[in-house]
Amino acid sequence: MKKIFFITLLLCIVLIGCSKELTDQYVLEEKVETVPSGDSESTIRYPVITGLNDKKVEKKVNDDIDERISGFKRGLENFKEIAEMENDTIDVKYEVAYKSKEILSIKFEVISYMRSFGVEDHVLIGKNYNLKTGELLELKDILKGDYKSQLDAKIESKFSELDVELVKKFEGINEKSEFYIKDNSLVFFFSAVEYINEVGQSLEIEIPFNEISEVLKEPLAFGRDTSPELDNYNIAINDKTKPFEALFFIGENIRNVSGKDSTTMILSFEEIQEKYIGIYEEILIDSETQEKLFEVFGNTFEKDKLNELGDDDLKTLLTEIINGGYMIINLEGLFTIVQDYRVLEEYAGYLPDDIKDYIYLKANESKDLQELKIGGTLSFKQIKDRIIKYEDYIKTYPETIKEYVVSREHMHLLHSYFFGFDGMPAFDYATNKINDELLQSYKEFVSVNSNSETAKIIEGYLEVLERNNYTLCEEVEEYRKSFSSINENYF
């Protein structure tokens, strides 16, 4: 097993790369978790950062976010132990307030519904990360000199401008004062009940950088080398922007920007798409909506039949989804959506080679998915071809911003290549013998791709299979699981 571990680990190292140069083209993928709370349900949304060149920093940031999220979950478990609070919920949402090569600032909003007391409480949490180290930024890291007296004076002045009577005089900030960073300002937040006797809310006080330039260590948002079109994009695109709106803006402006700015637009669009998948799916999964879809489209969605829908609101929603760059497909008896990368092919010529080829790679997958029959799965040949394409992509572009995403997809495909799918298992359920088509595919992979790192893993697998008469047994299973455990740790 040492040989197996070494070869698999080698592949991970080859695919992950080792560059630690800072990049502003990393991606924040939204993760959504639902947690039952008695008769209610809590929804927790948070970002997972991918695409940083320094994977240690990436892991450090994600671990810190995960620890905070775990704290919310522990709070929900504590609720369950108190009879009066078992139906209370905690919803978490977030906003990416500032994003650059060096700094990532996230504002979390935690909404606690204390149903037993009839109270709804909103709490803000600021997370400001130094992307050089993965450490949380403190005020002293971005400000210099006697910044406290300047900030105290500014914040006190802002408090006096509030159209409400204060129940407590502002006492000044300290190193534990909560804040987050915006493009042109620092934003501090305080408990509303403490200063204006309003339960359940927070007060946000914004201090523009140009008002504290004397104590600002670096002009965070100043001196950026961006085009007017990208500046307009950053102004127009926010956390409420829908995918179809972002895609329309890209279509109108991408021809006038640099390759770097066009990449920023496309990566931002991907983030918006990923965020809205959950929002749209929540609407589509409704049983009444599904029934209407099946009545008109049967088992296969066809855009040409949209006008046959009697529900104008549903028709508008489906049009919005399609115009936002999604496919509507029937997956295991339910209509759902996936990103359709074919809509981005027309912009590939404006992108750097690595992003252009990534778009083509994903667009081909979208085409394969569109052509799958209802209930169908990819063939072993399609899986094999995709594995080769992903490995070739990483070898061609070892420093690409898409390195992590492509490496992850490669690992998922290799896992499927070892284990098969429901309805297409790698081993016969009755005899435990390997699928003949799959075995032949393994042999072809090794013979045609002798220099491939993946081929080395499959070659080792073939040795284990041959030793055991191509029958599923403990040693074969151990090989597969050893790969899966590394795969799991890698993610």
Distances (CA, A) of 89 to 197, 454, 477: 24, 46, 42
Q: Residue 410 carries which DSSP code?
A: H
What is the number of other CB atoms lying within 10 angstroms of the CB of residue 237? 18
Is 189 within 8 Å of 178 (Cβ atoms)? Answer: yes
pTM for this model (two decimals): 0.60
Cβ contacts of 231 within 8 Å, gap of 6 or more? none
Please name each of the domains of the chain with its CATH number.
27-137 (3.30.565.40), 141-224 (3.90.640.20), 225-376 (no CATH), 392-490 (no CATH)
Helix (H, G, I), strand (E, B) or coil at 262: helix
Is 148 within 8 Å of 172 (Cβ atoms)? Answer: yes
Nearest Cα to Cα of residue 170 among 199, 146, 143, 190: 190
- The whole-angstrom separation of Cα 481 and Cα 462 is 15
Tell me the pairing of strands 27-37 and 103-114: unpaired
> Where in 38-184 does DSSP place strands (E)?
40-50, 89-99, 103-114, 119-130, 179-182
Phi, psi of 328, rounded to the nearest 5 degrees:
-105, 120
pLDDT along the chain (491 residues), means of 10: 41 43 75 84 92 90 94 82 77 89 91 77 90 91 89 88 78 87 86 70 84 76 54 69 92 86 88 90 93 92 91 95 94 90 95 94 90 71 92 89 83 88 86 94 91 90 95 92 51 29
Model pLDDT for residues 5-36, shown as the tens digit of each residue: 443 444 443 444 444 556 667 888 889 898 88
Model pLDDT for residues 453-487, shown as the tens digit of each residue: 889 999 999 999 999 999 999 999 989 877 654 44
Is 402 within 8 Å of 463 (Cβ atoms)? Answer: no
